[in-house]
């Protein structure tokens, strides 16, 4: 089975199997209650454990209820808790906690669901029926394995069914027994019973709505009469669903139905006693299994290696039974970090009580009859935080429109219209005029007077409108957000394209609401989907241990939109669950993947990677049955594949042992151990004679893995074997294989890529680089071409243009430009183009560089003029000396641009865009040697809040350029190669940027004294070189730091001599630091080891720390007192003695709050002893994650990463 909902795309396309086949349809089935509640005050103890002990939650009305904060859902929250759901068939009426009105007319509504959407549709139908004067009894087919009670004696007046179709046209897993009962000969006649069916499906599957159609035909054959025609619904077509509901209500109105009073007060059909608890544990009622063991199965040599784990769960006295081929269903919890990020974005209290969603499974962890739960717990256990619904965009749009209207700012067509003549413009003009009066930027009095006058004039001109606009746009321009939302929500395809790669938190950050218009928890919960369970192939036999079950799970990590993502369930099992903790589980039956009834029948098993899981169960079961009976079993052949035998050979010793004693015939394919890659299909072809002989002997052939690549290739190899064995053509071979499948002798527990929903396929394709996606995947088939060229993948383009022996750099660039203009330009929002420098090919490619740059710039101009290109993020980089980007002043007319990044080597860049050319630009990065054009100065946009650029002092002997000083909104500034003396900074920083929050001075010569007056600074990076670090610098920096009471992030690299000064260490000790980076040169230099600052305020809030491992080893007691530490980067670990390495790593394993560990890769590779110590650390603390390593010799890159980590984690005002 495959859990492709969490697989990274490269693995899915590269034939790596992982997890559960059922999860393939997770992205398709959307379920979320329209009304979820939030905003209640919490008990004093806010932990989940304390909540479980709080019996006031869900208590009876006679008991004291918790007090709720006023919310729109207060009426729901104040309702008495419903009784515990002991009945196997609770009705909608019972769930509502109210009696049926005597005048209401009872109607029976049944649903069969796999992922909850059918239930959501049925509940919508019940709501409509209640409004029409009917009393619906809502029943789950999963709770009716023995059939619908009361059908034989006519206790039902009308019957409505909502059912989805799964896989190859079969019913939902837990509705199969009901459907089998309905199709059996023992089902009673209906005698004209009115009915109607809503069939749910997906047209991308071959058997669209087969289950619903079959139910409709069967009810008619049993004598039922349609009260409304069946409706076949494609995906989430709510228009069709509403049409069916309206047709049902209209059809019911024409029927002579009896009221509750006329039926003697009976509103519901009671469940038969013998079937009431027939299915005690199920998907909707999971068992809380106890984690017995979590074992890593892979040898990890780097942080990029993929890990696979074996999870063993104790089923206790549940009585749950499973057979080889079944799957373990797991209800996961979202990552706590993701939950806290969402709570922080909402500004909500996680302890507030919210209404328990009606679709949440019967959670044994909740108190009996609970009707509410803390918001933090609800987000963790009930809601999907990864797949936003379109309703979220509509909600944000309405909130922004209401905020604009309520602020007194005029609106037109739902857009806030504000005056652009703001106080900020007046400030900028005043500064400029003041400079002219003061002369060459030296007359600071003139600047200040001009600034004050400009502020007063700007404020007088705008009056209250400017104040309202400032408050309204405190989180970004509301006009821009409204315009974007209006355009986005008007196009369903654009909505899908935008939402596909984003999580809920991404959407909230993109359209962050202004103060006073915050999104309430109740508003948000109503737009979230239901968190779905994951299925993993069972890899154990119940004959080995009757109350234990094992699963093999691949840990999923991937990157999307430049952010690291993790699999919800795989990391929940592998990193957050500890031994002895409980996890909600159930058994997912898979009757279509079973061992032969006769043990003497030969079997052939093909399962690379985690596709091995069910075959481990197969073989354990066969071996144990043979041991009990004293008999034998048929020949068992296994084809297993992975990358390397010393890395990811899952259960390698077990398989080798079985092969040695003759239990199996083993064929292995280690794809990365030789120059030419070898896969399981290659081993299959090499053993064709054996395979054909066993097929002729009646063997069953099994495949578990990715059907899009591996399983497809295996099937092709099998067809060739059949062709050769029978000496027939391909058509006859396919007919033979079809007969095997019909007889149950060819079984595939594999998720075909062609069967994946579009949104899941898009997620996989998004992980591929542009060349692979467009140049390889798009050529496979028509559907893949359509997907790879769909708006979700074209909105973000990242291209590395390189030449090759058969293709010049210019040819490659021309091909890319042609493709971008014709396919991607109308959809692209983010474009990153890089021309990497290749020293070996420079002589050839360098000649093409001017033509390549001309081609790219001409394409951007054409795209803007002819294709309506609306780029928001543009990055251009090349590594060729003496070649400039031809950047026009208006930047090709890209008025929508918000971020612009230009990277060039030692060249001269003359680019200063006009303020009115890029009115939305907030982030500008110019990394090149720049020349000031005195003849035509163009100030940078006033809207800039983040600026990063390279400055050379020789170009500005009179001080910093005026263009930089006219940026009143600047909050983040990074200056590279700024070789001024300290006075140069003093003229620029404090006078011009009093509100600056983040400052980085890279390769500076002196520490500016003005830093001490920049009290708003929250993040500071200083990068010098050892030859420029002197005692005077340490003294000056110490004086500066003592004035910075708000500094939460400090990064100093390549400055060992500075760190060794006691006065500097003492100054750091008083800072409220959250991030501290002590980055230096390799310890092979003749420098004494660095020392941590003395104990002080810096330890109390420290969350991220980067330092040499030797420093950490010498100061473990100090680090132990940093109780909030979450991330630790250790440099030069390999240069230490093994004993010191083990001591530092043992500290990391035992630190209670540490979650991320990073080791540099400098020096030799990790020794066996170091690797053993790292592995032991990870096993000891499963919450600890090993981050990718980086050579510490690249201290500049380490400093950049530390800067980005600070900005992303909240240091510095983000």
Average pLDDT for 497-525 = 86
The pLDDT tens digits for 814-830 are: 888 888 888 888 888 88
Cβ within 8 Å of residue 1062, ≥6 positions away: none
Same domain, 721 and 805: no
Residue 920 to residues 506, 924, 934: CA-CA distances in angstroms?
A: 20, 11, 26
Lowest mean pLDDT segment, chosen from 293-302, 653-662, 739-748, 1022-1031: 1022-1031
Average pLDDT for 1202-1213 = 51
Confidence of residue 426 (pLDDT cuts 50, 70, 90): very low
Residue 663 to residues 433, 612, 666: CA-CA distances in angstroms?
A: 90, 16, 9
**Cβ atoms within 10 Å of 543's Cβ, excluding its own:** 15
Same domain, 800 and 705: no
What pLDDT was estimated at residue 14? 34
Q: Return the closest-CA partner of residue 679 out of 8, 2, 16, 7.
A: 16
Confidence of residue 73 (pLDDT cuts 50, 70, 90): very low
- Tell me the β-bridge partners of 902: 876, 926
Same domain, 707 and 621: yes
Task: Kindly tell me if the per-residue pLDDT of 162 is higher than 90.
Answer: yes
CATH number, domain containing residue 146: 3.40.50.360
Confidence of residue 126 (pLDDT cuts 50, 70, 90): very high
What pLDDT was estimated at residue 443? 42
How far apart CA 1017 and CA 1014 sit, in angstroms, is 6
**Residue 573 DSSP label:** I
Give the residue, 886 or 641, on which the prediction is more confident. 641
Give the Cα-Cα-Cα angle 600, 603, 609 (nearest 5 degrees). 145
Give the Cα-Cα-Cα angle 805, 810, 813 (nearest 5 degrees). 105
* Residue 78: inside a domain: no
Same domain, 124 and 251: yes
Q: Indicate the pTM of the whole model.
A: 0.56
* Beta pairing, strands 1185-1187 & 415-416: unpaired
How far apart CA 1010 and CA 1036 sit, in angstroms, is 10
Task: Kindly tell me if the per-residue pLDDT of 858 is higher than 60.
Answer: yes
Lowest mean pLDDT segment, chosen from 242-246, 383-387, 617-621, 837-841: 837-841
Task: Kindly tell me if the per-residue pLDDT of 1023 is higher than 60.
Answer: yes
Contact 952, 909 (CB under 8 A): no
What pLDDT was estimated at residue 177? 87
What pLDDT was estimated at residue 857? 78
How far apart CA 35 and CA 907 sit, in angstroms, is 59
Same domain, 397 and 265: no
How far apart CA 75 and CA 772 sit, in angstroms, is 55
Confidence of residue 87 (pLDDT cuts 50, 70, 90): very low
**Cβ atoms within 10 Å of 128's Cβ, excluding its own:** 16
Average pLDDT for 802-808 = 64
Confidence of residue 455 (pLDDT cuts 50, 70, 90): very low
Average pLDDT for 911-931 = 65
Domain extent, residue 1067, equals 1030-1214
Q: Return the closest-CA partner of residue 496 out of 585, 596, 393, 360.
A: 393
* Residue 819: inside a domain: yes
How far apart CA 51 and CA 49 sit, in angstroms, is 5
* Residue 331: inside a domain: no
**Total of domains in the chain:** 5
* Beta pairing, strands 1049-1053 & 1075-1079: parallel
Q: Return the closest-CA partner of residue 253 out of 129, 345, 75.
A: 129
Give the residue, 402 or 642, on which the prediction is more confident. 642
Determine whether 707 is exposed, middle or buried from the number of CB atoms within 10 Å of its CB (0-12, 13-18, 19+). Answer: buried
CATH number, domain containing residue 1079: 3.80.10
Task: Kindly tell me if the per-residue pLDDT of 1191 is higher than 60.
Answer: no
What value does the CA radius of gyration of the chain take, rounded to a whole number of Å?
A: 33
What pLDDT was estimated at residue 433? 41
How far apart CA 357 and CA 36 sit, in angstroms, is 6
Lowest mean pLDDT segment, chosen from 30-39, 946-955, 1039-1048, 1075-1084: 30-39
DSSP 1023-1065: E--GGG--HHHHHHHHHHHTT-TT--EEEEES-HHHHT-HHHH
* Residue 71: inside a domain: no
* Residue 24: inside a domain: no
Give the Cα-Cα-Cα angle 3, 7, 9 (nearest 5 degrees). 135
Same domain, 713 and 811: no
Three-state DSSP state, 306: coil
Residues recorded for the chain:
1214
Highest mean pLDDT among 458-462, 518-522, 566-570, 968-972: 566-570
Task: Kindly tell me if the per-residue pLDDT of 415 is higher than 80.
Answer: no
What pLDDT was estimated at residue 48? 37
Domain boundary among 692, 724, 755: 755
Give the residue, 57 or 570, on which the prediction is more confident. 570
How far apart CA 816 and CA 810 sit, in angstroms, is 10
Give the residue, 488 or 745, on which the prediction is more confident. 745
Confidence of residue 503 (pLDDT cuts 50, 70, 90): very high
* Beta pairing, strands 830-835 & 796-800: parallel
Same domain, 612 and 732: yes
Mean pLDDT (the chain) is 75
Instruction: State what percent of residues in the chain have pLDDT above 90.
Output: 27
Task: Kindly tell me if the per-residue pLDDT of 876 is higher than 50.
Answer: yes
**Cβ atoms within 10 Å of 36's Cβ, excluding its own:** 25
Task: Kindly tell me if the per-residue pLDDT of 786 is higher than 60.
Answer: yes
Domain boundary among 932, 952, 972: 952
* First-to-final CA distance of the chain: 42
Same domain, 266 and 117: yes
Lowest mean pLDDT segment, chosen from 230-239, 332-341, 396-405, 646-655: 396-405
Same domain, 738 and 808: no
Domain boundary among 275, 302, 320: 275
The pLDDT tens digits for 282-293 are: 888 899 999 999
Same domain, 836 and 745: no
Confidence of residue 1031 (pLDDT cuts 50, 70, 90): low
- Tell me the β-bridge partners of 1011: none
Return the structure tokens found at 343.
Answer: 């709570």
What angle in degrees, to the nearest 10, is found between the helix axes of 492-499 and 478-489? 120
Task: Kindly tell me if the per-residue pLDDT of 846 is higher than 70.
Answer: no
DSSP H helices in 347-389: 375-381
* Residue 293: inside a domain: no
Q: Return the closest-CA partner of residue 201 out of 160, 171, 245.
A: 171
Q: What is the Cβ-side half-sphere exposure of residue 916, based on CA atoms within 13 angstroms?
A: 2
Give the residue, 370 or 21, on which the prediction is more confident. 370
Three-state DSSP state, 162: strand
Average pLDDT for 209-223 = 92
* Residue 435: inside a domain: yes
* Residue 369: inside a domain: no
Same domain, 1114 and 1066: yes
What pLDDT was estimated at residue 421? 36
Same domain, 1068 and 1206: yes
Give the residue, 318 or 1067, on which the prediction is more confident. 318
What pLDDT was estimated at residue 1119? 84
Q: In the 3-class helix/strand/coil scheme, how is 625-661 assigned residue by residue?
A: HHHHHCCCCCCEEEEEEECCCCCCCCCHHHHHHHHHC
Contact 1065, 1059 (CB under 8 A): yes
């Amino acid at each position: 089975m495959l859990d492709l909902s969490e697989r990274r795309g490269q693995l899915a396309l590269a034939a790596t199997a992982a997890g559960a086949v059922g999860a393939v349809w997770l992205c398709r089935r959307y379920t979320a209650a329209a009304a979820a509640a939030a905003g209640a005050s919490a008990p004093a103890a806010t932990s989940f454990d304390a909540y479980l002990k709080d019996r006031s939650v869900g208590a009876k009305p006679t008991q004291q209820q918790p007090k709720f904060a006023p919310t729109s859902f207060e009426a729901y929250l104040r309702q008495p808790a419903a009784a515990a759901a002991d009945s196997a068939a609770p009705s909608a009426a019972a769930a509502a906690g109210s009696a049926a009105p005597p005048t209401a007319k009872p109607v029976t509504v049944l649903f069969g669901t796999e992922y909850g959407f059918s239930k959501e549709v049925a509940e919508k139908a019940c709501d409509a029926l209640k409004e029409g004067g009917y009393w619906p009894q809502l029943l789950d087919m999963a709770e009716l394995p023995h059939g619908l009670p009361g059908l034989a004696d006519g206790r039902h007046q009308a019957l409505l069914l909502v059912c989805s179709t799964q896989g190859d046209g079969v019913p939902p897993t837990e509705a199969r027994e009901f459907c089998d009962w309905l199709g059996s000969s023992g089902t009673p006649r209906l005698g004209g019973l009115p009915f109607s069916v809503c069939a749910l499906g997906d047209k991308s599957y071959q058997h669209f709505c087969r289950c619903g159609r079959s139910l409709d035909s069967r009810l008619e054959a049993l004598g039922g009469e349609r009260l409304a025609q069946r409706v076949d619904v494609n995906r989430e077509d709510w228009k069709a669903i509403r049409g069916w509901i309206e047709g049902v209500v209209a059809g019911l109105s024409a029927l002579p139905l009896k009221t509750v009073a006329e039926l003697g007060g009976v509103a519901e059909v009671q469940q038969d006693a013998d079937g009431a608890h027939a299915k005690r544990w199920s998907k909707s009622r999971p068992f809380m299994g106890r984690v017995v063991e979590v074992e890593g199965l892979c040898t990890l040599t780097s942080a990029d290696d993929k890990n696979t784990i074996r999870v063993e769960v104790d089923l206790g006295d549940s009585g749950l039974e499973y057979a080889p081929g079944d799957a373990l269903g797991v209800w996961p919890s979202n990552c706590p970090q993701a939950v806290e990020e969402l709570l922080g974005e909402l500004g909500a209290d996680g302890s507030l009580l919210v209404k328990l969603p009606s679709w949440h499974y019967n959670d044994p962890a909740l108190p009996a009859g609970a009707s509410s739960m803390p918001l933090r717990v609800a987000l963790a256990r009930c809601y999907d935080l990864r797949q936003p619904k379109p309703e979220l965009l509509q909600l944000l749009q309405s909130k922004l429109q209401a905020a604009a209207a309520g602020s007194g700012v005029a609106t037109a067509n739902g857009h806030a219209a504000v005056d652009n003549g703001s106080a900020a413009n007046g400030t900028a003009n005043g500064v400029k005029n003041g400079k002219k009066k003061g002369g060459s930027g030296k007359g600071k009095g003139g600047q200040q007077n001009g600034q004050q006058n400009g502020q007063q004039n700007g404020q007088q001109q705008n009056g209250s409108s400017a104040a309202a606009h400032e408050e309204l746009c405190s989180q970004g321009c509301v006009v821009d957000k409204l315009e974007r939302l209006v355009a986005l929500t008007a196009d369903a395809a654009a909505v899908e394209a935008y939402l596909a790669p984003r999580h809920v938190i991404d959407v909230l950050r993109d359209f962050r609401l202004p103060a006073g218009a915050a999104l309430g928890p109740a508003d948000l919960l109503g737009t979230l989907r239901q968190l779905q369970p994951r299925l993993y192939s069972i890899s154990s036999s119940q004959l080995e241990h009757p109350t234990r079950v094992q699963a093999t799970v691949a840990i999923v990590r991937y990157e999307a939109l430049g952010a690291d993502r993790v699999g919800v369930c795989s990391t929940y099992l592998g990193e957050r669950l500890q031994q002895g903790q409980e996890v909600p589980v159930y058994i997912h039956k898979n009757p279509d993947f079973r061992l032969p009834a006769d043990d003497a029948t030969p079997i052939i098993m093909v399962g690379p990677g985690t596709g091995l899981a069910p075959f481990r169960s197969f073989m354990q079961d066969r071996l144990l049955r043979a041991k009990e009976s004293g008999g034998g079993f048929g020949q068992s052949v296994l084809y297993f594949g992975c990358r390397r035998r010393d890395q990811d050979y899952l259960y390698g010793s077990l398989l080798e042992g079985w092969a040695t004693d003759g239990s199996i015939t083993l064929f292995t394919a280690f794809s990365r151990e030789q120059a030419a890659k070898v896969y399981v299909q290659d081993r299959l072809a090499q053993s064709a004679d054996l395979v054909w002989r066993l097929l002729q002997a009646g063997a069953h052939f099994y495949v578990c893995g990715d059907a899009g690549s591996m399983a497809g290739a295996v099937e092709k190899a099998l067809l060739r074997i059949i062709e050769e064995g029978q000496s027939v053509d391909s058509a006859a071979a396919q007919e033979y294989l079809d007969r095997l499948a019909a007889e149950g002798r060819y079984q595939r527990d594999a998720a075909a890529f062609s069967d994946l929903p579009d949104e899941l396929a898009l997620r996989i394709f998004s992980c591929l680089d542009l060349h692979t996606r467009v140049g390889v995947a798009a050529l496979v088939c028509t559907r893949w071409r359509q997907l790879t060229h769909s708006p979700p993948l074209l909105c973000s383009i990242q291209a590395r243009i390189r030449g090759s022996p058969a293709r010049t750099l210019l040819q490659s660039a021309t091909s890319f430009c042609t493709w971008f203009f014709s396919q991607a330009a109308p959809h692209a929002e983010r474009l990153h183009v890089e021309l990497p420098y290749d020293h070996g090919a420079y002589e050839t490619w360098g000649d093409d560089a001017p033509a390549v740059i001309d081609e790219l710039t001409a394409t951007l101009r054409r795209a803007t003029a002819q294709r309506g290109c609306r780029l928001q993020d543009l990055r251009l980089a090349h590594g060729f000396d003496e070649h400039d980007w031809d950047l026009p002043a208006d930047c090709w007319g890209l008025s929508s641009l918000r971020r612009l990044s230009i990277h060039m080597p030692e060249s001269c860049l003359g680019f200063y865009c006009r303020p009115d050319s890029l009115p939305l630009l907030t982030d500008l990065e110019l990394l090149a040697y720049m020349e000031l054009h005195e003849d035509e100065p163009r100030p940078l946009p006033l809207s800039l809040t983040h600026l990063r650029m390279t400055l050379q002092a020789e170009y500005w002997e009179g001080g910093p350029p005026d263009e930089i000083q006219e940026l009143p909104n600047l909050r983040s500034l990074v200056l590279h190669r700024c070789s001024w003396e300290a006075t140069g900074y003093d003229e620029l920083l404090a006078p011009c940027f009093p509100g600056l929050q983040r400052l980085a001075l890279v390769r500076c010569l002196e520490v500016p004294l003005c830093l001490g007056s920049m009290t708003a600074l929250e993040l500071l990076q200083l990068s010098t070189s050892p030859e420029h670090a002197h005692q005077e610098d340490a003294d000056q920096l110490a004086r500066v730091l003592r004035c910075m009471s708000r500094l939460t992030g400090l990064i100093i690299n390549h400055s060992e001599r500075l760190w060794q000064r006691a006065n500097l260490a003492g100054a750091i000790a008083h800072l409220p630091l959250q991030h501290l980076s002590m980055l230096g040169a390799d310890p092979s230099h003749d420098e004494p080891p660095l020392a941590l600052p003395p104990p002080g305020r810096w330890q109390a809030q420290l969350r991220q720390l980067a330092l040499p491992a030797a420093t950490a080893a010498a100061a473990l007691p100090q680090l132990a007192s940093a109780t909030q530490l979450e991330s630790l980067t250790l440099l030069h670990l390999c240069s230490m003695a093994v004993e010191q390495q083990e001591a530092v790593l043992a500290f990391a394993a035992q630190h209670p709050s540490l979650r991320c560990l990073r080791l540099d890769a400098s020096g030799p590779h990790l020794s066996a002893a170091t690797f053993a110590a790292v592995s032991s650390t990870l096993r000891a603390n499963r919450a600890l994650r090993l981050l990718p390593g980086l050579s510490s010799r690249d201290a500049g890159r380490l400093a950049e990463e530390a800067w980005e980590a600070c900005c992303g984690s909240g240091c510095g005002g983000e």
